[in-house]
Amino acid sequence: MTETEIFASLMPRALPLAMAQPARLEWQEWFNQSAGMSWFGMRCDLNHERVVKVVLPEAFEHHRGGLGSSAVNGAVLSSMFDAAVGVAAIMQSPMQKQGTVELSIKLLNGVRHTPVEVYAIALKRSSSGVVFVECQLYSGGKLCAMCTGMTAVSSSKHSAVMSSNGNLD
């Protein structure tokens, strides 16, 4: 499946990202430099106005399955989904801290080709601050896994955007 086809399938259900593109791209750069994203070798792409993309451009030996498999390890895929769900939710409420409270992952096929790409959309934001997200993971143009997730928005008024010193407030 091409990226154009993936976007076309997700767009009708996706909520628009609340942050304007210049601010999204600045946040994206900050987030991509974070320890978690750097350690896993993942990148977040916020160029689209409704779809969050998380990419593992290259899979190294430490990304591979624990039993000597050539497939990317499920823990790495789970981390990609967690990042995508979290970012999709933050882009709905950028002025509030949030955390993933539920991930439901369906592994459909082994992930053996790079880049590995997760596409995430926010489906709904409840009045209580819960954000519902759907994700699809592709490898070699093939759908390999799906995920639904929920995040809870903190009741504190802390910002999920970086402050002038580069930290989350």
Q: What DSSP assignment string belongs to 84-105?
A: HHHHHHHTTSTTS-EEEEEEEE
Cβ contact 63:41 at 8 Å:
yes
Write out the two tokens for 25: 């791209």
Q: What is the pTM of this model?
A: 0.90
CATH code for the domain defined by 3-153:
3.10.129.10
pLDDT value of residue 72: 95
Residue 81: burial class (beta carbons within 10 Å; 0-12, 13-18, 19+): buried
The residue ranges of DSSP E strands in the chain, in sequence order, are 43-45, 52-56, 98-107, 116-125, 131-139, 142-153
Q: Where are the domains of the chain?
A: 3-153
* C-alpha–C-alpha distance, residues 154 and 141, integer Å: 36
pLDDT in tens, the chain (169 residues): 999 999 999 999 999 999 999 999 999 999 999 999 999 999 999 999 999 999 999 999 889 987 778 899 999 999 999 999 999 999 998 888 889 999 999 999 999 999 999 999 999 999 888 999 999 999 999 999 999 999 998 776 555 555 444 444 4
